[in-house]
Structures are given as structure tokens and as C-alpha cells.
Amino acid sequence: MVPPAMFLLFDYTGTDVFDPLVLLLAAMLIDAYLGEFGPLFRIIPHPVVVMGHWIGVADARLNRPSRSPRDRRMRGVVTALALTGISAGIGVAVQWFATAAPAGWVVEMGLVAVLLAQKSLHDHVRDVAVALETHGLDAGRRAIRHLVGRDPETLDEGGIGRAAVESLAENFSDGVIAPVFWYVVFGLPGLMAYKMINTLDSMIGHRTERHQHFGWASARLDDAWNWAPARVSALLIVAASATLRFTRWREAVRILRRDARRHRSPNAGWPEAATAGALGLALSGPRRYHGRETSEPWVGDGRARVTPKDIRRALRLYVRACFAGGLVVAGVLVLKVALAGAG
């Protein structure tokens, strides 16, 4: 997802058998078809669950209300940097094992696959459409709880649909393209570091009374590490919209240029704006988080009342965008091989 020269700058030798980009492409295919490896993680904990446990322990022990805001912020900085460094170090160790052990590449490929979220994201969003279509509003509210932090009890059918499409767009960047991006740039240590940063942000990077100071560093790190992937994600959505008859790529470009920076997030607005323009929808807007009303600007000029049919259209666009991401990785691999041969 980056210029080949950048990858080569941080390149490592990979395994004795496969280039790391080949492992990445294989992992993307495995994740696209198998998803979350549910039976496996009934036996052992998922890596992100382990990361969440570490974060929870740090939050409980270091983020006590009796401490001053400055002290809590400094402890949050140390927590974010330490846990990110530990995760990157584990990535280095697994990467070394992949190069040293016979068939060690299987471990690296499998770990990369479980840290992507192509199929799981698709399935969770599809479940919202199915719930609304077959069981109505209450079922839709239950299904959307798996995707958003806002209060689902305040959402009507159009609000649930809008939340589902917004989550699909934002998590295409956070859960698919960003992990791929950082693996391409830094290998497995980069992917592991990113997953820890993203998990830190999702757990403590909130502007709540408890976490506005302790989670400050985690939120800023997440913003920085998602800056480039968010913009790559938007371009992939635009490219994907040019391949479907019901989407409008020129409108995706227009809304992207106009509205991407209007979003409350410095990054989420990019894939959301591209999606809104491509599908003729209006996303973002006013919402309720943690019991508080927020007045957010609208992204896009289309309908704000998003239907289950719109969710399914968004899913088709998402699948094409994931495929486009895989093509970019394959292109980087081909160019890397060509440059190595020319050298």
C-alpha cells in the first residue's frame, strides 16, 4: 500500500521459502474466506483479547481517580509507549522464528490472517441488514451494538443503517487497510504495534471523565498511525466505485475533496466521505455517545435514511475495495521483484 522504495527501506529477508508480501497476500485470502478462526479461539485467546487484557490491567492499576490529571496523562503516555513496544517486540520474535524454524512461515502467515478483519467486518455489517430485514427494529439495535459505541436505543431504522455503513467505511481503514499498510512498511512488528495502538484507542482513547487524560496519548498515537491508511482507504473505495454500476466514482471524488476534513475524526472522514459520495448517502451527522448529544456535520449530499438495501450496496463496494487493496499489494510485490532483478 506504499511506494516500493519505502518497503525496501525497511525490508527484511522473509522466510527461506516466501517473500513477506507473498505471506501477506496469502493471509488476506485466508482471512477473506475463513474469517475469525472461531473454533481456534475457543481454545486459546485471540491476540487482540490478550492485548485488551494488558490494557485493562494497566488502566486499573495506573489510572486512579485520586491522581492528578497531569500524573494520569504521563502514566498514559508511558502505558501507550510501553505496550506498543512490547507488541512490536513480540512481532520481532515471531518474525525471527518464521525465518529460523522449518515451516515457521506458517506461524507468521496465520498470525497476520487473524489480525485482519475483512470477513468478520463484512459478516457483522451483513448481520445488521439481515436483522432489520427479517426481525425489525429491535433486532437491528441488538446487531448494531457489535459495531458502534453510540446508544442504539436512540436509533431508528435509518440511523441503524447509517451507523452500519459508517462503521463499515471506518473499519475498512482501521481493520483491513491499516494492518496491511503497516505490515508492508515494517513487517510483522509494524502490524503488531498498530494492533496494540488501535486496541488502546478503542479501550481508553475516549474523552470521558475517566480516560480523557490517561487515554490522551493512545488517541494521538492512533490518529498518527491511521493518517496514511485512511487516505489510502478512501482512494481504494473510489477505485472500487468505478467498477460497479450502482456507484458513482466522480461523486465519490467530489464528496471526498469537500467533506473528508469536516468529520470529527482526522481520519475516519476520508473513507466515510468516499463511501457517502459513491452510494449517494449522507453519513455522520448528529449522534449520541456515552449519554451525550454531539452535533456533527453531515458528510455527503444524499439520503440520511439508510435502508438495509443500502447496507448491502455498501457491502458490495467494500468487497471490491478489499480486492483492490489486494491488487495493490500484488503490484508492490511485482515491482519489488522487478527492481531486485534489475539490481
pLDDT tens sequence across 206-218: 989 999 999 999 9
Opening angle at CA 196, ends 272 and 271, nearest 5: 10
Average model confidence (pLDDT) for the chain? 92
How far CA 92 is from CA of 98, 193, 238, in Å, comes to 10, 10, 35
Quick one: which H or E segment has residue 203? helix 178-204
Give the Cα separation of 182 and 161 in Å (integer). Answer: 31
- Residue 202 C-alpha cell reads as 478503542
Confidence class of residue 154 from pLDDT cuts 50, 70 and 90?
Answer: confident
Mean pLDDT of 145-156: 85
Give the Cα separation of 327 and 319 in Å (integer). Answer: 13
Which pLDDT belongs to residue 37?
A: 77
Mean pLDDT of 96-112: 93
Sort 272 into a burial class: Cβ within 10 Å, 0-12 / 13-18 / 19+. buried
Confidence class of residue 98 from pLDDT cuts 50, 70 and 90?
Answer: very high
Which pLDDT belongs to residue 342?
A: 80
Which pLDDT belongs to residue 199?
A: 98
- At a CB cut-off of 8 Å and minimum separation 6, what does 249 contact? 238, 239, 241, 242, 278
Give the Cα separation of 95 and 63 in Å (integer). Answer: 33
Which pLDDT belongs to residue 6?
A: 44
User: CB 123: neighbour CB atoms within 10 A?
Assistant: 15
Give the Cα separation of 16 and 7 in Å (integer). Answer: 19
Which pLDDT belongs to residue 343?
A: 64
